[in-house]
Structure 1
Amino acid sequence: MLQGTLACGLLAALSAGVPANAEARDISRETLAPNDGWAAAEGGTTGGAAADEAHVFTVRDRAELVRALDGGSATPKIIKVAGTIDANTDAAGNRLDCDDYATDGYSVKKYLAAYDPRTWGSAKPAGPQEEARQASAAKQAERIVFAVGSNTTIVGLGDKAVLKGASLQVGNADNVIVRNLELRDAYDCFPVWQPNTGGLGDWKTAYDTLWLRGATHVWVDHVTASDKGHPDEDEPTYFGRNYLRHDGLLDITNASDLVTVSWSRFADHDKAMLIGNGDTATGDRGKLRVTLHHNEFESVVQRAPRVRFGQVHLYNNRYVVPEDVHDYRYSIGVSTESAIHAENNAFTTPGHIEAADLVKSWNGTALHASGTVFNGFPVDLLTIYNAYNSGSERDLTADVGWTPILHGKIDSAERADREVERGAGAGRIR
């Protein structure tokens, strides 16, 4: 009888997309290992591991997720995501689209007519259509923005757990873990036009799939984040600019600190990861300490990551730029007062992209880059960058003012490239 019960349990687990050993290994109570990057510093990161059974939730739809998050409360909690949860749904679970959020007479056609730079000029949009856009955006935000509080673990069950259309926001919270979860298509129905006097301007979107602002001790592991379903390159061009619908995949801003991002996959996106959101945000000094290791950046145009102020350890990551990537710009952005220590990262690109294209500097001067492999060959990334940009930009220096000590074994770039290809992303925890 016991043997039959075990067999039935195994069959049920497999049919639900949950690994057969899921009960033997409860990843929902796992904590960050000692020395695993910056999030292991100053007490480490445990998320909701201390939650009592009354605060362990399995959620299958938006309403259950909202109840489990409890308005971003700091009560220790574990939230297990089962299947696909669509944020763009009403109270009854019915699918909502952009037309359902539009209010006060808003329409894209009317908005474009009102703020065409040829007639409106370079002033910020104002008036009835901009007010209607703001009201419409607020309606969408009510449905898709989810506040994550301190002492929270969010994990996906099995290999098919998805949050679709959602923006998870860890704001002024401490001790958070997000693991084994696909975050897909945080689609902004109501981008705002931002004109400027030096050019046409650009479209600005509102939602990151995961946004850390003022957050501390955060571990993001085996997450897959992408625009899957609505790539921005398929959107139309308005006012001479791509009508962007997505912001960052993972942004770490507003003096966030002590963050480890591991074994995650960032794909099919323009601006993937911003660390530090402004050149004048001097309050970020001494913060924004982030470790990125064993992550894959595939079909990412830029910001993988772009860093201001932070001490960022970037090791054993895999970068893949396919032939058809839309308007590749750079991977590692060196910005104001950043100090990036990059080790043993692997880059694969088409022939028209050169090693010097992998790095871009805006007011930043410090980048340690060792053990880099570019299209299968070792390269001295810093020397190549400085030679290529001689006379046009300030040289970068390898002296970043610090040496990482919180990390696991650092493999060769070649080995990491293979391991990350096999193991990064949701559903691949081993």
Structure 2
Amino acid sequence: MTARSLRITEATQGRLRRLNLMTTLPPLLIAAAFVVAVDSHAWWHAVILAPGVLAALVIFERWTADDVMRVALPCTIVAGAVWPVGALVTASPNAYWGICTVGSLALTRPPRHRGLVAAALFGYVAAVGAARLLVDRDDVPKVLITYILIPTVVTVVVTVLTLLGERFYDIVRELEQSRKREAELAVIRERVRFANDLHDIQGHTLHVVKLKLALAQRLVSGDTDRAKRELHETYALVSDTITQTRELAYAQRRLNLSAELENAKNLFEAAGIRVRVTREAEVETRVSELLGLVLRETTTNILRHAQATQVRITLSASGIAIVNDGVPGDAPPEMKGLAALRQRVADGGGDLVVEQEKGEFTTSASFARSVTTSSYPREEAR
């Protein structure tokens, strides 16, 4: 996760904690005032109980700021001291409230063994309550209920609820981080798509420019007019590439299958390769751009990697197949452009297949048909 995403996540969590502070602090203050008012039978009783209440309020405020551990130890010491003094000296059965609150919040950021720390907290509350029997032996049932059972059960319940609340914040943090990661992945995917489109434009154009300049160089001494025409077409091609690059940068570029088909035929003709185009049906608009990408990448690969003498292009309503000869070796060559294109076709709901058999290389892309399109086989040959 980037530093910016981390800051946004922490800001979201901070808003939730502040909301919790505003909604929970008022009842917490009421409970604190109730503890002091009920258990104080003299002014000095309030002085003894007040530090435990103050420690509980301080650690709660720090918890909302995600800064529990800085105050956990001093607050635990203060609240832990108030409970035995209240139980043994001032006969305050609610004096455990401070250690109950402090301990449950401190457990949200414990060292390692949270279970052992929780057990120590519950045991401490129960043991101090049991110590009340040393000064009040005449009413054992009251001591068992008021000083042992109720404080221990309440501490357990508060601790469990606090840990569940902390888990809620953990889930919020994880969801926020997942959302940010998805956004970052979307940006990365868009950058890869842009890089692939730029590669398609620049790589294709540069290779065609190389072919046309080589042809013009051969014709410059024997056929000046043809050489001038090739140079003029090269200039127009470079200008068109600049336009396409600008459109790509501003997300305005849309690939035209008919233009790509005409461009491929012209390129193959310039390289001395015979071309036959068969249209089995009208191509669906929704897949036209992806099929144009397949045709462009395949055309570049044929001109760059094969010694082809003929190419057959077959168009269907939702697919294209390009077959060329002049392929050396028995295994299809590794071409990174086709690997990237296969992923783009798959993202569009299609399938790109590359096969080599008997000296012929076949590149085909197909998509699921969405509508029924009338077939009208038609061939164009060059």
| TM-score under structure 2 length normalisation | 0.21
More strand by share: 1
| TM-score under structure 1 length normalisation | 0.19
Q: Which has the higher contact order (CA 8 A, sep 6+)?
A: 1
More helix by share: 2
